[in-house]
A and B are shown apart, each in its own frame.
Chain A
Amino acid sequence: MTQVTDSHTDDHTGHAGHDDHEHHGPPHLAHHFETPEQQLSSAKLGMWVFLATEILMFGGLFCAYSVWRGNHPEVFAYAHTALNKDFGFINTIFLITSSFTMAWAVRTAQLGRTKATFILMGLTLLGGCGFLVVKTFEYKAKWDHHLFVGDLNEHHPDYVAPAEAAHGEADGDHGAVDEHATIEQTAADHGAADHGTSDASVEVAGETTGETAGEIVGGAERTSIALAPDGPAGVVADWMVAPVIAGETADAGHADDHAADGTDEHGAHGEAAADAGHADAHGGGHGDGHSVSKEIVPLKDRQKIHQFFQIYFLMTGLHTFHVLVGMGVIAWLMFCKVPKGIFGPGYYTPIDLVGLYWHLVDLIWIFLFPLLYLIH
C-alpha cells in the first residue's frame, strides 16, 4: 500500500475517482483463483512466458541474421546503405515514446484515472501509427527501387526486371556477359562516390525519396541482369562470368584493397558509365557522406547481397505485424474497456498485459535498429 500512497504524492496531474481497496469485492475473479493477487500474478507469469516464446521466435531471425552477417560482413556493410537511417531513427523515437506513454497508461490505470488512461493509450496508438506510416514509406521506397523481398529484389538470382526498365538498352550489346556490365557499373558508382557526391547531405537522405548509393548501384545492375539470358543453367552464370574470375577471386578477401584496385583499373570507363547512370543522385544514404561501393563485397558473395534484404524484410515484417497486433489490442481495450471505468487498483490486468506486450515490441526494435540500420 505504501507504494500507492507514495505515488500519489508525486502525482502531477491530479486524480479522480480512485477508491482504495476495491479489490476485496472482486468482480473479475475467476472461480479457480482464490485472490485477485493470485490471478494477477498468474496472468503476468503467463504473459512473461508468452513473451519468452516471442523472444525465441525472433531469436530464430536474429540467428539467421548473425550467421549471415558473421560470415558475409561485407554483404551487410554494403547492402545496409540502402536503408534510410533517419527513418529507422524516427521510428525508434516513435516506439520509445509510445512505450513511455504505455507505461504511463498502466500507472494511471492502477490509480483508476480513467480519462488519463484513455488519453495515454490514444497517444500510444498514435505512436504506433507514426511507426507504421514511416514503415510504409520505407517499404514503398524499397519497392520502387526493386529492393523488395524475395525475387522482387534485383540482387536476387531469379529477379525479372519489369518491362519499363528501358534505360538499360544502351548496355544491350554486352548484355550476355552481364556481370561484366555490372562490374563496370559498380566501378562507375565507386568513381562517382569519390568524385561527385561528397556534398551528399543528410537532408537528402531524410526525404522519402532519398535513397542511397547502394540502391543506385543496384539500379545499374538491374538493367544488366534484365538483359541476361534467363536459362535454367544460368544460376552461376548470372552472377559470375569468365572475365571477372581470373583477376578478382584471388583477392576477394581484401575488400578494401580490391575496391581501390577496381577504381584504378576501371576509372575512366567508370566515369563514362556513371554519366549514363544516375551519377547525380549518388551517395547521401550514409549521412556522413561516405558512400559504400558494391566493390567491398567479394565476388563470391555478390549473389548473396539479396540475403540482407530478405532478412531485413523478414525481421521488420514480423516486427511490424506485432506492432499491428499490439495496436489492435490497445485500441480494443481503449475503446471498449477503459471507458467503462472498470480499471483501478483492484483490477488493471488487461492494461498491464498489453503494456508488457507493447514494451516487448519496443524492446525488439531497440535491437533491430542498430543491427539493421547502423552497420559499420
Chain B
Amino acid sequence: MSTTTPPITPPSSPHSPSSSGGGGGEVNYINATKGIKSWMFTVDHKRIGLMYMVGVMSAYGLGGLFAILLRSELWNPEPSFIGGAEAGTTEAMNNAWDFYNQAFTLHGAVMVFLFIIPAIPAILGNMVLPIMLGAKDVAFPRLNLLSFYFWVLGGLFFVWVLSKGIINSFYPGMIEIWGPGGLETGWTFYTPYSTTTQNSAVVAATFGAFILGFSSILTGLNFIATVHMLRPKGMGWFQLPLFLWALYATAIIQILATPVLAITLLLLIAEKTLGVGIFNPALGGDAVLYQHFFWFYSHPAVYIMILPALGIISEVVSVHSRKSIFGYKFIAISSLAIAFLGFLVWGHHMFTSGQSALTNAVFSLITFFVAVPSAIKTFNWIATMYKGDIRITTPFIYILFTIGLFTIGGLTGLFLGCLSTDIHFHDTYFVVAHFHYVMMGSTLFAFLAGVYHWFPKMFGKMYNVFWSNLGGIIAFIGFQLAFFIQFIAGSQGMPRRYASYPEHFEFYHQVSTVGAYTMGAGMIIVLLTWIVALRTGKKAPANPWGGNTLEWHTTSPPPTANFHAEPTAEEPYDYSGWKYVSPEEGWVQRTPEEREAARQQLGTGH
C-alpha cells in the first residue's frame, strides 16, 4: 500500500465523468470548430493525431496491397506476373523479377517509413500524451503540425516514385522524359546497388525518406520537451504512465538515430547525383561503411517501432486486469535500457557482409543483452495479469496476441543474434518471419489494441465488440499462418527476395499466401468496425475501462483544452478510486470513504 495518499479529485468537480459522461451535445475538440481550414491549420495535438491517423492508415493500406501482390506472386514456384511476355522465356523472368523487386521494396519502404514508425507515436502518442500529463497541448504545437506536413510531403515523394513506376511500365517512352520510376533497391538502399542501378527513382525515394526523418525527429523533440516541462504538479518521473516512458525512450532514439539516417540518405543522394563515391567500391569507396551508417539508424529504428507498442501493452494489461502494474520501475527503466542497448547492436545486421570477426563477436554478444530488458517487461506483464481481475475486452485480446507474437519474434531473434546460426539463416525466410513477428506483428497488434483502448476517448463512440474481436482473431490466425511457416521454409534454405523458387517450397508458400489473404480479410473487418462505430456507435462514457491515467479523468472526447478544470496527478495504476456503474456511464469516481473501503477489501493493493 502506498505510503502517501494520492490526491483524489472530488467527484463533484466540473470535470467529473459522471456529470459529463457521454459528451453528446457538448463542445469537444472534434466539433469545436468547423471547416477544412480548422483542421489543416490546427495546432491541437488531438486533431493532428487524427490527421496522422487518416494518412498513416492510408499508407498501411498501400503497403498491405503490395504485401498481397507479393504473396500472390509467390503462390506458384514459377513467376506469375510476367507482363505480356510468353511464359518460360527470359523476358517473362525479367518482367517478374522487376515487378517483384519493385513490389517488395515499396512494401518495405512504405510500411517502415510511412506506417510503423509514425503509427503509434504520431497517432496515439499525439492523441494521449499531453492528456496523460494533464497538459493542454504538447510543448511546441506548431512544430507538431509541421511534423505532420513533413510526413505528408515525404509520403508524396513515395507516391510520386510509385506513380512514375506504374506509368513508365505502361508508357516506356516516359522514362526518356522524367527518368525511371519505382524502386527496387530494397528498403535499405544498399550501395553499390542503389548508386549504380538505373531503373529506380532512388533520389526521389531517399529524399522522401529524408523528409520523413524530419517528421519523426520533430515528433520526438516535442515529446521530450513535453514530458520534461509539462508534467503536472505532483507527477514525478515515477508517476509517469508507462506508455509515456515508452514514448520518451522512443523519442530519445528518434533524436539520436534519425539524424544519422538523414546524413546517410544525403550521402546517398550525393553519390547518386554527384558521383561522390564514399560508399561505391568502383570509385574507391567502402560499401560496408554504408551498412554501418544505415544500421546505426535502422537498428535503433526497430526500437522506435516496437517500444511504443510495449508501452501500450503495459497500459492495457494493467487497466484491463484491474491491477496495478507489477514492477513499474523495472518496466520504466527497461524502456530506457532497450533504447540504449539498441544503439550498441547494429552490427548484427552485417554478420555476413564482410564485417570483421571481432566486431561480429562484440555485436553478437551485446545483442543477447537486449533479451534482458525485453524479458523483464514480458515477465512483469504476466505477473500483472496473475490474480488480476481480468476483463476479456477487445484491447485485452489484442494485447494477448501482441505478447504472443512478441515472444515468438524475440525468441527467434536469438537464433539470428548467434553468429554461427545466423550464417545459416541470414537472407532466408527465417529472417523475414522474425522481423515480421517483431516489427509488424507486435507493433500492428499493439497499435490496434491501443486504438481500441482509446477509441472511446478519441471519438466518444463505442465500437461493436463482437466484430472487433472477430476481426482481430482472423487477422491473428492469418498472421500465424502467413509467417510461422516461413521460419521452417527459411531454415530449409528458402532465400528471401526471390520471385520464383524450387517446387518443394510450394506448400510453405501457399500456406503463407493463404495466411496473408486471411489477415487482409481480418484487417478489413477491423477497419469496418471503426467506420461503423464512427457512424453509428453508442456514446462512450468518460471512463469505459476504469483506467486511472489522466486521460480517463476528462470527457470523451475531450474538449480542445483537454480538461474542464486543471487535473491533479494521481498514481496512474491505482484503481481503487473507480467503481463500475453501467455500460452507459462506465466507471465513475468513488467518494473518499468508498475508496478507503475498497482499499481495505483489496488488501495489499499492489
Are A and B in contact, CB atoms below 8 Å, in the complex? Answer: yes
Complex Cα gap A38–B231 (Å): 11
Residue of B nearest to A311 (CB): B278
Is B263 a contact of A307 with CB atoms below 8 Å? no
Is B278 a contact of A307 with CB atoms below 8 Å? yes
Least CB distance from A292 to B in Å reads 20
Is B275 a contact of A158 with CB atoms below 8 Å? yes
Interface segment, one of A41-49, A338-346, A362-370: A41-49
Least CB distance from A319 to B in Å reads 12
Is A304 a contact of B284 with CB atoms below 8 Å? yes
Residue of A nearest to B226 (CB): A42
Complex Cα gap A189–B276 (Å): 27
Least CB distance from A95 to B in Å reads 21
Complex Cα gap A33–B284 (Å): 54
Does B221 count as interface, using CB distance less than 8 angstroms?
Answer: yes
Complex Cα gap A55–B217 (Å): 13
Least CB distance from B359 to A in Å reads 13
Interface segment, one of A60-68, A137-145, A166-174: A60-68
Question: Which residues in window 125-147 of B have CB below 8 A to A?
Answer: 130, 135-141, 143
Complex Cα gap A57–B137 (Å): 29
A32 contact set on B, CB distance < 8 A: 130, 135-139, 141, 230
Residue of B nearest to A236 (CB): B282
Interface of B is mostly: helix
Is B274 a contact of A150 with CB atoms below 8 Å? yes
Does A54 count as interface, using CB distance less than 8 angstroms?
Answer: yes
Is A31 a contact of B259 with CB atoms below 8 Å? no
Is A156 a contact of B267 with CB atoms below 8 Å? no
A64 contact set on B, CB distance < 8 A: 267, 278, 289, 293
Q: Which of A56, A67, A304 contacts B259 (CB 8 A)?
A: A56
Q: Which of A30, A46, A57, A151 contacts B263 (CB 8 A)?
A: A57
Does B224 count as interface, using CB distance less than 8 angstroms?
Answer: yes
Does A198 count as interface, using CB distance less than 8 angstroms?
Answer: no
Does B256 count as interface, using CB distance less than 8 angstroms?
Answer: yes
Residue of B nearest to A61 (CB): B263
Does A201 count as interface, using CB distance less than 8 angstroms?
Answer: no
Complex Cα gap A280–B143 (Å): 58
A55 contact set on B, CB distance < 8 A: 259
Question: Which residues in window 271-306 of B have CB below 8 A to A?
Answer: 273-278, 282-286, 289, 292-293
Contact bitstring B72-115, A, C-beta under 8 A = 1, else 0: 00000000000000000000000000000000000000000000
B220 contact set on A, CB distance < 8 A: 49
Q: Which of B229, B259, B277 contacts A42 (CB 8 A)?
A: B229
Complex Cα gap A32–B131 (Å): 12
Does B57 count as interface, using CB distance less than 8 angstroms?
Answer: no
Does A77 count as interface, using CB distance less than 8 angstroms?
Answer: no
Q: Which residue among A56, A303, A306 has the maximum number of chain B CB atoms within 10 Å of its CB?
A: A56
Does B228 count as interface, using CB distance less than 8 angstroms?
Answer: yes
B260 contact set on A, CB distance < 8 A: 56-57, 59-60
Residue of B nearest to A148 (CB): B274
Interface of A is mostly: helix
Contact bitstring A318-348, B, C-beta under 8 A = 1, else 0: 1000000000000000000000000000000
Does A204 count as interface, using CB distance less than 8 angstroms?
Answer: no
Least CB distance from B46 to A in Å reads 13
Question: Which residues in window 304-318 of A have CB below 8 A to B?
Answer: 304, 306-307, 310-311, 314, 318
A311 contact set on B, CB distance < 8 A: 278
Does B225 count as interface, using CB distance less than 8 angstroms?
Answer: yes
Complex Cα gap A57–B263 (Å): 6
Least CB distance from A354 to B in Å reads 16
Is A53 a contact of B277 with CB atoms below 8 Å? no
Q: Which of B222, B262, B270, B561 contacts A150 (CB 8 A)?
A: B270
Is A151 a contact of B274 with CB atoms below 8 Å? yes
A304 contact set on B, CB distance < 8 A: 284
Question: Which residues in window 285-314 of A have CB below 8 A to B?
Answer: 303-304, 306-307, 310-311, 314
Please provide the 6 A-B residue pairs with the shortest distance between their CB atoms, ordered closest to farther: A150-B274, A60-B263, A57-B259, A32-B136, A56-B259, A151-B275
User: What are some 23 contacts across the A-B interface (CB < 8 A)?
Assistant: A31-B561, A32-B130, A32-B230, A42-B140, A42-B225, A42-B228, A42-B229, A46-B222, A49-B220, A50-B221, A53-B221, A54-B259, A57-B260, A58-B263, A60-B293, A64-B278, A64-B289, A64-B293, A150-B273, A157-B277, A303-B283, A307-B284, A310-B270
- Beyond the given A38-B229, A59-B259, please list 11 additional residue pairs across the A-B interface where CB-CB is below 8 A: A31-B136, A46-B143, A52-B255, A60-B260, A60-B267, A60-B293, A67-B289, A157-B277, A158-B275, A303-B283, A307-B278
